[in-house]
Amino acid sequence: MRSPSTDKVEAPLSADFRLLGSGRHPDGVLPVGGLRMTQEFVHRPVMVAEVVAALATVPPGLFIDATVGAGGHSRAVLDAAPQLRLLGLDRDEDALSATAATLGGLAGRVVLRHASFDRLATVAASVSPGPVTAVLFDLGVSSPQLDFPERGFSYRLGGPLDMRMDRSSSRRAVDVVNDYDENALARLFAANGEGRFARRIARAIVAARPLYDTLALAEVVRAAIPAAARRHGGHPAKRVFQAIRIEVNDELAVLGAALDAALEILEPGGRCAVLAYHSGEDRIVKERFARASTGGCTCPPGLPCGCGAVPTHRLVFRGAHKPSAAEVAGNRRAESARLRVIQRLAPPIIEAFVAETGNP
């Protein structure tokens, strides 16, 4: 395979932002500014300076924050990039209410929609006829979802087995835990890093049914793992809860298609940045970015391409950037974050002209 096209990322920038909450507009579009505020949904966005550095210099156009959360990344990018307008998407309506307050004062530049990121192209076409020049995915679960017991994401806090990011969806964690057979549960846990204990955990869960509470499930998982193995690797239920959450929300199933759509709608010079926190997520991102930056070239590395592949994007930097030690010290949930960024190339004829003349 041809080596991916790369470029260098600009020096990090910074921006201030507030994290508050607000009410939701009845027609599904959230207004910004002048709203009732709460302190309920407060999330610390990860690697903000690095995200801003990657996206702030893109051409004028629409910035899609496909997982807008509480709006921290979006606020920082908009403050640093006055040429951008925002379309913020999220499956969690609580998050969208908080975003509306975080982005107060930017009403003319912001549209928020309750939607999954696999619909980003359709939603973008419905709200803006202009070019899309930046897309951000901040994958995984947010701090408020983990910290509110009633959401059922946490193995440390007692609550119902829910784990739905979109609470209008029908499948919940209780359905996976109590309805999947032993083989299905074992496959699910093994696919999400539980390795040699996946079968033991699945068998223990089936034997303990019915299970309705997060702490009860966490205790079943803990008891299924040998004591020696529980002494390292963090909480014994961490990967099991992660696997169930991913299954409930179809996170990996929709990610590839969403990335393909984002890369397709980007204008030349536009960029897509992805923060992943799980090896399964990052593997999908890496594969999609490699394909776009090589054109799917199958030729041996180091040799001229003979298969006719044409890259459509270039990697802004090779590999993934990680949060600084200082950020991890202040926010342990940032530790597993991996940031990858890719940029859309101009069509081949225009790209060759630019390279030869230096003129856009």
**pLDDT tens digits, 117-174:** 999 999 999 987 889 999 999 998 877 788 889 999 999 999 999 999 999 999 999 9
53 plus 91 within the same structural domain: yes
Contact (Cβ atoms closer than 8 angstroms) between residue 315 and residue 283: no
CATH of the domain at 183: 1.10.150.170
d(CA 214, CA 220): 10
If you count them, how many residues does the chain have?
360
pLDDT range class, residue 350, cuts 50, 70, 90: very low
Contact (Cβ atoms closer than 8 angstroms) between residue 41 and residue 70: yes
Residue 93 CA from chain centroid, whole number: 16
**Average pLDDT value for residue range 201-212:** 98
Give me the domain span that covers residue 174.
154-248
Considering 248, 271, 299, which residue would you say is the last residue of a domain?
A: 248
Tokens 């003319």 belong to 108
Closest C-alpha among 343, 271, 267 to residue 4: 343
314 plus 348 within the same structural domain: yes
Give the total number of structural domains in the chain: 2
pLDDT of residue 338: 98
213 plus 122 within the same structural domain: no
Q: Model confidence over 172-193: pLDDT tens digits?
A: 999 999 999 999 999 999 998 7
CATH of the domain at 122: 3.40.50.150
Considering 201, 227, 248, which residue would you say is the last residue of a domain?
A: 248
pLDDT at 36 over 60: no
**Average pLDDT value for residue range 231-255:** 91
d(CA 182, CA 229): 22
d(CA 82, CA 13): 14
Q: Model confidence over 86-112: pLDDT tens digits?
A: 999 999 988 888 888 888 888 789 999
183 plus 288 within the same structural domain: no
130 plus 255 within the same structural domain: yes
Arithmetic mean of pLDDT over the chain: 85
List phi, psi (to 5°) of 38.
-130, 175
pLDDT at 15 over 80: no
Give the Cβ contact number of residue 277 at 10 Å: 18
pLDDT at 302 over 70: yes
